[in-house]
Amino acid sequence: MIWTLTLNPSIDHFTELEDLQPGTTNRAQRQRYLPGGKGINVSTVLKNAGIPVRTIVCLGGFTGDYIQSYLENEGYQPVVIPLDDTTRINMKIHAAEETEVNGAAPAFTEADAAAVLNTVEQIPAGDVLVLSGSLPDTLSTDFYAGIIARARNKGIQTVLDTSGEALRKGMEAGPYLIKPNEEELAAIYGESIDGMTEAVRLAQRAAADGASHVLLSRGGDPSVFTDGSSTWTAVPPEGTVVNTVGAGDSTAAGFLAASAAGLPPEEAFLSGIAYGSATAFTEGFGSPEAAAAIQKNLIMTKLEEEIG
C-alpha cells in the first residue's frame, strides 16, 4: 500500500480572467475549488491510475471540513488528523501571467505533531510513505527526517518531495527517493545548475549524502535519475504547457505507479517523466492513458561515465 502525508493542505481556488489589474476590482470569468497539497495531488494521480493509496491529511476549521468531505465523497478514505487551527486557502490566478498567493500554514501544537508520528507508526512494514509539501513553520525543519528514520526502522520506504532545510535534513535521513526540481536541489547546496553537468553532479551528490534514489526534474530540460552508482537522463516531450500545478506531484506518482507494477527504478523514472508531462500539457491532472502515450516516445540514456 502507498500512503501519502499532507501536513499543510489547502483549498486551491483557481480563478481565470483575461488580465489582472492590481489595485482595482477584478472579476473572474471562471473559478473552481479543489483540495490542494502535494500529498493529496499524489493520491489523486495514483487513484486515477488504479493504484491503492491511503491519504493522511491534517485538517482544521471550515476549510478542513470541506476538504474532508470532498475526499470522503470521492472515495479517498482519508485518515484525518484534526487540528485546532484553520486549513489555508491558496489562490491560483490565471490571467496574462500566472500568479499564486498561498495562505499561511496552520499552527501545529506538540500534541498535533505527536498525533502525526503516532499515525505514521500504524503504517505496516513493507508499505510506502510519501512525504510531500512544505512544513508548517511551527514544526521543526527535521520533522520529515524524524519520520523517515522511524519509517526505516519499520521497513517502510519513504519518498520525500519538499524543499529547503526540510529537504536537506530529510535527505540525510536516508529516504528511498527524493524528487527535487533544479531550484530546490541547487538551493540546499548553495550552488546553481546551469546545465546537464551541474545537474548530474548535484543529483549524484544528493545520492551520496543519503538518498537511495534521486529524480531531478528540470522543466523542459533533460531530467536526471540516479541511484548513486548508475545515472540516467531523459528528455521530456515537446508540448504546450498549460498547467504547472501538480506536474511535479504527478512525476512522483508516475514513479510510484510503475514501482507498484514491479518495474525497475530506471523504468519508473520514465513513467514519472511521462505522468509529469501529461499533467503539464492539460488542465487538471494528466490521465494514465495520456502518460502511457507520452512514455512510448521517451528515450532514456544511461551515462557511461559518472561526473565527480
Which class for 24: exposed (0-12), middle (13-18), buried (19 or more C-beta within 10 A)? exposed
Contact (CB, 8 A) for 165 and 268: no
Task: Give the whole-angstrom CA distance, residue 66 versus residue 64.
Answer: 5
Instruction: Give phi and psi for 12, each to the nearest 5.
Output: -90, 115
Angle 231-215-300 (CA atoms, 0-180°, nearest 5)?
50
Task: Give the whole-angstrom CA distance, residue 173 versus residue 189.
Answer: 16
Q: Which entry of 112, 142, 161, 249 is annotated as an active-site residue?
A: 249
Of 123, 78, 127, nearest in space to 260 by CA: 127
Q: Match 498547467 to its residue by C-alpha cell.
A: 243
Distance of CA 277 to CAs 153, 168, 236, 240, 288, Å?
Answer: 35, 26, 7, 10, 11
Judge whether 249 counts as a catalytic residue. yes
Give long-range contacts, CB 8 A cutoff, 24+ apart: 293-298.
294/237, 295/270, 295/271, 297/237, 298/234, 298/235, 298/236, 298/237, 298/270, 298/273, 298/274
Pairing, β 128-132 against β 53-59: unpaired
Q: Match 483575461 to its residue by C-alpha cell.
A: 18
Label residue 178 left, alpha or beta by phi (over 0 means left) and psi (-120 to 50 means alpha).
Answer: beta
Q: Which residues are catalytic?
A: 249
